[in-house]
Structure 1
C-alpha cells in the first residue's frame, strides 16, 4: 500500500516539472553574484546569459532535482530493506519472580537485544512494474517540460531585446523630428526678419517644437522601462551595483530579417509533431495509465521475503550479567492481503481513472490551443510582412513630400502649415516603419516557437 501511495505522489506532481538532459546533469548553480554590467550587449549574449540565469529555467532545474529525489524514493520500494534495532531495559526486582523461588526474590533486572531485519518485496499485484513505468514516463516528461520552459524563456528574452531596440530607435526618430522642427523655426525667423512672413509663423514653429517634447520624453521613459523588463527576463539581479542607472550599449538594429515563408498546413503539422508540450502530455498519459495499474494493485496481496538475525541477553544467566547471550537467525515469507478496506482501494482506483481521463482531455485541449496559437502566429507574420512593404513605400513618399514642401515654401508657393504637416507625416512614417520591422522580427520568432522549433541561438555549433 505504501508503494501505491508513493506512485500517486509522483503522478500528482505538476506536469511542467522539467529539466533538459544537459542541464539536469549540471551541478546546482553556484550562489555567485551576476557579472558586472557589460559595456555592450547583443542578442546572442543576452540569450546565453538567460540560459544560465533566467529564474524560470533555474526553477525548472531545481524541480527536476526534486522529482529525481522522489523517483529514488519510489524505486526504493523494490529494493531490499534492512533495519537494525537495539534495546536495553531494566525491570524492578519486585516484578521479576522466578517460578522456583519465593515471591519477591530477585531474578534478572537487566535485558538487552540487538536485531537485524531484512525484507524484500516479492509481489505487489503489478505495483512494482507500474512504479517503474511511471518513473520512466515521468523522467521523459520532465525533459520535455524543460524544453518548453527554455523555448518560452528565450522567446521572451528575444522579444524584450527587440523592445529595447525599438524604444531606442523611437528616441532617435523623436530627436530627428525636433531637429527638423528647429530648422523650420530658424527658417521662419529668417523669413520674419526679412519681412517675408509674420511672427505667427515663428510662434507656430515654437508651438510645434513644444508639442513634440512630450513624445520624446515618453520615448526615453519607454527605453528605460524596456531595459528593466529585459533585465527581468535575463534574470540579472545585482543589488550590489554601485550605479543602478548605468546600462550597456545595445548592439543590433530592427531591420527586417530576410523573408521566411511558411505554409499553414505544414506549420500545423510541425507543431503537432514537435511541440514539447504535446509530447509531454502524451508521455504523462502513459504515466497516469500506469497510475491506474498501481491503484488496482491495492486489490492484490503483497508478498515479502523476511529474514533476520537476533543477538540478545540470556535470561538464564547471571542477574546483571552481560557476558552470556543467545543469537540466531530466522527467515520466512510474509503476505498481506487487504480483504476489506472500507472500499478505500476502490476510491483510489476511481481517482486514478479520473486523472487518466483528465490527462487525455488536457492533451486534446492543449492540442487545440497549439493549433490556434499557430494560426494566430501565422496570421501575425503575414500582417507584419505586409506592413513592412507598406511602410517602406510610405517613408519614401513622405521624404519626397517633405522635400517638395520645403522647395515650395522657399519659393513662396506653399504655407508653413504644409511644411509642418509634411514633417509630421515623415515622423509618423518612420515610427510606422520601426513598428513594422519590430512586428516582423517578433512574428518570425513567435511562429518558430509555435511550430516547436528551437531558437536559432540553440542550433549554433
Structure 2
C-alpha cells in the first residue's frame, strides 16, 4: 500500500470507530485497502481479523460509502445556486447583402457582425427555495451517514454469524472424527476377540458395517466446512486469492471456540434501548425533516424570483470594420420573475411533497413497530437458545456416563456390541447438539444486540 492509500485508511479509521473492535488498528487492516487485496490467505484467521477486513472490503459497506460521496456531490450542486454564475458569450454572423444598408451616408455597409461579452448572474431571492433545498440536502447527508452506520452493523452481524458457522462446521468434523475413532477401536476389539474365540464373525462384520456407515457423515461435514469458508469469504469481501496449487484450496486455521457465555437481558430494557439506539429510526426522522423542507421547496414556486445580472462586452461598430473601433462597456440590472399561472403544476408539486411527508411519518411509525417485533423475536430466540444450551450440556454428561457404563459392562460380558455402539452414537449426537446449541446461543446474542442497536458504529460528523 502506498502512502496515499495509508493516509486514506487512517482518515477512514478516524471516522469509523467500532466499539469493542480494537483490531481496526492492527497491521492486517492497514495492510489491505479497497484497491489492494491480499494475494493469499493468511495462515490463521480470527473473528477480529474477519471484521476488520470486512470493514474495508464488504461490498455493501463500500456501496454505502459511495452513496455518501454521491450525496456530497448533490450538496455541492445545490450550493452552486447560491453563488454567482459567470459565462462568456461570443457570436459572429455573416449577413446577406440585402440586410446591409447605409442610412443617409451614416455608417458603413457591412456583411458581418460580431459581439463578445462576460455575463454575471446572482440569485437574490428564489422564494425561499434555495434555503429549503440546502436544508433538505444537509438532512439527507446525515441520513445517508446513518444508513452507512446501519449497513456496517448489518455487515458485522453477517460476518459474525458466518464466522461462528464456520467454527461450527469445523467442530462438527472433529466430533465425527472422534466417532470414527471409537468405531475403529470397536472393530479392532472385535477382531481381537474373534482371534481369541470369544465372538463370532458376525460381530466383526457388524463393526465393519457401523464404521462404513459413519464415514458419509464425516464426508458431509467436511463439505459443509468448505462451503462455510466460501460463504465467509463472500461476507468479508475477499475475492482476490491466488489460483496456484498451494493457495487455491488453502484453508486457514480458524481461531476461537463455540463457548457458551452466561448473559442476561430484560425485555423492557431491550425495547427501550432499541428505540433510542437504532440508527434506522433516526435516519427516518431526518428524512421526514428533509421532506418537510421539500414541501417548502414546492411552495416557493408560488413566490417571485429576483436575480442580479451584469455584463461587460464588446461588439462590432456600425461605422467601422476595425475591432479596435467596436464599442465596449458594462451593464447591470435586476430581473424579477413571477409565474402567475402555470396550469396548476405548482399545486400538483405541493400535493406530491405533502404526500411524501406523510408517507415518511407512516414509514417511521411502521419501522418503530417492526423494531419492537424484531427485539421481541430476538429475545424469544435468545431464551430458546439458553434452554437448548442447558439441555444439551446435561445430555452430554448423561451420554458420557452411559458410554462409560456400556464399555465396562461390555468388558464384563453383560451387554453386546450393539449396546456399546448405541451408547457411542448417543454421545456423538449429544455432542453435535451441544455444538449447535452453543452456536445458536452465540448467534442469538449477536442478533439481540443488533436489534437493540448495541456496538453502534460512530461516524465523525465532519
Q: TM-score, normalised by structure 2?
A: 0.89
Q: CA deviation at 1:211?
A: 1.2
Could you say which residue in structure 1 is the equivalent of 2:176? 174
Deviation readout 1:186-239 (Å, 9 max, x if unpaired): 122222222222222211111111111111011000000000000000100116
Tell me the CA shift for residue 436 of structure 1: 1.0
Q: Distance in 1 between matches of 2:258 and 2:458?
A: 18
Do 1:47 and 1:457's aligned partners in 2 also have CA atoms closer than 8 Å? no
Query: Structure 1 stretches (4+) deviating beyond 6 angstroms?
Result: 455-458
Q: Is the 8 A contact 2:61 2:155 kept in 1?
A: yes
Shift of the 455–436 alpha-carbon distance from structure 1 to 2, 3 Å rule, reads: farther
Task: Please report how far the alpha carbon of residue 132 of structure 1 lies from its aligned counterpart in structure 2 after TM superposition.
Answer: 2.0
Task: Name 1:351's counterpart in structure 2.
Answer: 352
CA distance in 2, matches of 1:455, 1:344: 44
CA 111–456 in structure 1, closer or farther in 2 if over 3 Å, else same? closer
User: C-alpha distance in 1, partners of 2:306/2:38?
Assistant: 55
Q: In the alignment, which residue of structure 2 is the partner of 1:13? A: none
The residue aligned with 1:22 is: 15
Aligned match of 1:284 in 259, 271, 287?
A: 287
Structure 1 stretch 298-307 or stretch 175-184: which is displaced more? 298-307
Secondary structure at the residue paired with 1:279?
Answer: helix
In the alignment, the residues of structure 2 paired with residue 177 and residue 379 of structure 1 have an alpha-carbon distance, to the nearest angstrom, of 34
- Structure 1 residue 95: deviation in Å? 2.8
Judging changes above 3 Å, is the alpha-carbon distance between structure 1 residues 311 and 456 closer, same or farther for their aligned structure 2 residues? closer
Distance 1:117 1:387 in 2: 77
CA distance in 2, matches of 1:83, 1:92: 30
SS at match of 2:354: helix
SS in 2 for 1:335: strand
1:429 Cα deviation from its structure 2 partner = 0.7
- CA deviation string 1:116-152 (max 9, x = no partner): 2212212222212211210221111111111100000
The correspondence of residues 348-387 of structure 1 with structure 2, limited to 5 A, is 348-387=349-388
Q: Aligned partners of 2:91, 2:13: CA distance in 1, in Å?
A: 48
Query: How many angstroms apart in 1 are the aligned matches of 2:53 and 2:198?
Result: 61
Separation of aligned partners in 2, 1:406 and 1:30: 57
Going from structure 1 to structure 2, the CA distance change for 1:47 and 1:30 (only over 3 Å counts) comes to: closer
Query: Which moves more between the two structures, 180-189 or 226-235?
Result: 180-189
Unaligned runs of 5+ in 2: 1-11, 18-32
| 1:100 and 2:101 matched | no
Q: Secondary structure at the match of 1:253?
A: coil
* Contact in 2 for aligned 1:448/1:455 (Cα 8 Å): no
Secondary structure class of the residue paired with 1:280:
helix
Contact 1:44 1:457 in 2 (8 A): no
* Distance change >3 Å, CA 227–CA 373, structure 1 → 2: same
Pairing 1:412-423 to 2, within 5 Å after superposition: 412-423=413-424
Secondary structure of the structure 2 residue equivalent to 1:303: strand
Deviation at 1:34, TM superposition (A): 3.2
1:457 and 1:339 map into 2 onto residues whose CA distance is 49
Decide whether aligned partners of structure 1 residues 337 and 377 sit closer, same or farther in structure 2, where only a CA change above 3 A counts: same
* TM-superposed deviation, 1:31: 2.8
The correspondence of residues 251-330 of structure 1 with structure 2, limited to 5 A, is 251-256=255-260, 258-318=261-321, 321-330=322-331
Per-residue deviation, 1:109 = 2.3
Report how far residue 368 of structure 1 moved. Answer: 1.1
Distance 2:290 2:357 in 1: 8
Residue 46 (structure 1) aligned to one of 44, 47, 50 = 50
Counterpart in 2 of 1:121?
A: 123
Query: For 2:296 and 2:458, how far apart are their aligned partners in 1?
Result: 43
